């Protein structure tokens, strides 16, 4: 067993036209984009599942097209979180989790539950939602991640509640949303949203150095913990280059 946690680095999705000829080689068939991405990055955050319901055969195909050790973080369908009362989401949660995610097997990474920017922290409402999240899916243990985007969540009461239910909070690097850090989390989940179009690698070199050092320290421990780092939004066309630059800084140990 490794004495350090694993660091997974990736981007959101793998079908994005501006990546053709930059990240993807010219002429690469669309149906080979996942294969190409998964052999250069170590994870991907699937955002399509936020808008659409996929079939079990699709998740099985993703599993077969990617190498050992590659991980899919799955964004939960918007019907589970974009609602007036979070505690009423049981049916939507069950439908989403039952759509075939278990076909990913050990390539199933964290499940990302994203709240609306207008959803303020209400401890009773949030607890009613967190209580609906199961710890497992068949034989697979589930890792839940909550992305909160309202400043009212920047309180110790929120973190204490999330920890009580084993739910990790996304650390967001964004000009719009709070960046909540939880040093006690069992793993780290970062969504980095400040890629700039004028920079080839999206982020400045010194910023990438800091993210690499932080991820390395987190994974080394103690305790040794996994980290998931995704370059999302901002200048999305620069996201693959940013991810590759971070992986280069992390070195051969990055995939775990």
Neighbour-count burial of 131, counting CB atoms closer than 10 A to its CB (0-12 exposed, 13-18 middle, 19+ buried): exposed
- How confident is the model over 79-130, as pLDDT tens digits? 999 999 999 999 999 999 999 999 999 999 999 999 999 999 999 999 999 9
Q: What is the mean pLDDT of residues 32-47?
A: 97
- For the chain, the first-to-last Cα distance in angstroms comes to 10
Task: Sketch the domain layout of the chain as residue ranges.
Answer: 7-253
Is the pLDDT at 254 greater than 80? The verdict is: no
Is the pLDDT at 166 greater than 80? The verdict is: yes
Q: What is the mean pLDDT of residues 36-65?
A: 98
Mean pLDDT over each residue of the chain, to the nearest integer: 95
- How confident is the model over 2-22, as pLDDT tens digits? 578 999 999 999 999 999 989
Q: Check residue 43 and give its pLDDT.
A: 98
**Per CATH, the architecture of 7-253 is what?**
Alpha-Beta Barrel (3.20)
Q: Check residue 234 and give its pLDDT.
A: 87
Is the pLDDT at 77 greater than 60? The verdict is: yes
Is the pLDDT at 253 greater than 90? The verdict is: no
Q: What is the mean pLDDT of residues 235-249?
A: 97
Tell whether the torsion through CA atoms of 9, 11, 14 and 19 is positive or negative.
negative
Stated as kind and residue range, the H or E segment containing 129 is helix 123-130
Cα(137)–Cα(118) distance, integer angstroms: 30
Percent of the chain topping pLDDT 70:
98
- How confident is the model over 183-228, as pLDDT tens digits? 999 999 999 999 999 999 999 999 999 999 999 999 999 999 999 9
Q: Check residue 255 and give its pLDDT.
A: 40
- Pair type for strands 171-173 and 108-114: unpaired
Q: Check residue 89 and give its pLDDT.
A: 98
Q: For the whole model, what pTM was predicted?
A: 0.96
Q: Check residue 233 and give its pLDDT.
A: 85
Tokens of 101: 């995610």
Tokens of 113: 């539950």
């Amino acid at each position: 067993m490794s004495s350090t946690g694993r660091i997974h680095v990736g981007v959101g999705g793998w079908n994005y036209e501006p990546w053709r000829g930059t990240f993807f080689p010219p002429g690469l068939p669309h149906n080979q984009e996942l294969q190409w991405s998964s052999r250069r990055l170590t994870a991907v955050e699937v955002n399509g599942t936020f808008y659409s319901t996929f079939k079990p055969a699709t998740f099985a195909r993703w599993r077969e097209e990617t190498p050992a050790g590659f991980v899919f973080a799955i964004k939960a369908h918007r019907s589970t979180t974009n609602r007036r009362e979070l505690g009423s989401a049981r049916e939507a949660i069950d439908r989403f989790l039952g759509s075939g995610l278990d076909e990913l097997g050990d390539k199933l990474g964290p499940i990302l539950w994203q709240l609306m920017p207008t959803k303020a922290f209400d401890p009773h409402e949030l607890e009613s939602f967190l209580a609906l999240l199961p710890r497992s899916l068949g034989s697979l243990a589930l890792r839940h991640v909550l992305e909160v985007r309202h400043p009212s969540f920047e309180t110790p009461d929120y973190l204490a509640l999330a920890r009580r239910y084993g739910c990790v909070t996304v650390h967001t690097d964004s000009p719009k949303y709070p960046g909540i850090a939880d040093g006690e989390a069992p793993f780290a989940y970062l969504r980095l949203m400040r890629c700039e179009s004028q920079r080839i690698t999206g982020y400045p070199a010194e910023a990438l150095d800091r993210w690499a050092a932080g991820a390395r320290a987190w994974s080394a421990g103690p305790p040794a913990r996994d980290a998931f780092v995704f370059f999302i939004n901002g200048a999305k066309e620069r996201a693959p280059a940013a991810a590759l630059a971070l992986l280069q800084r992390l070195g051969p140990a990055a995939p775990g």
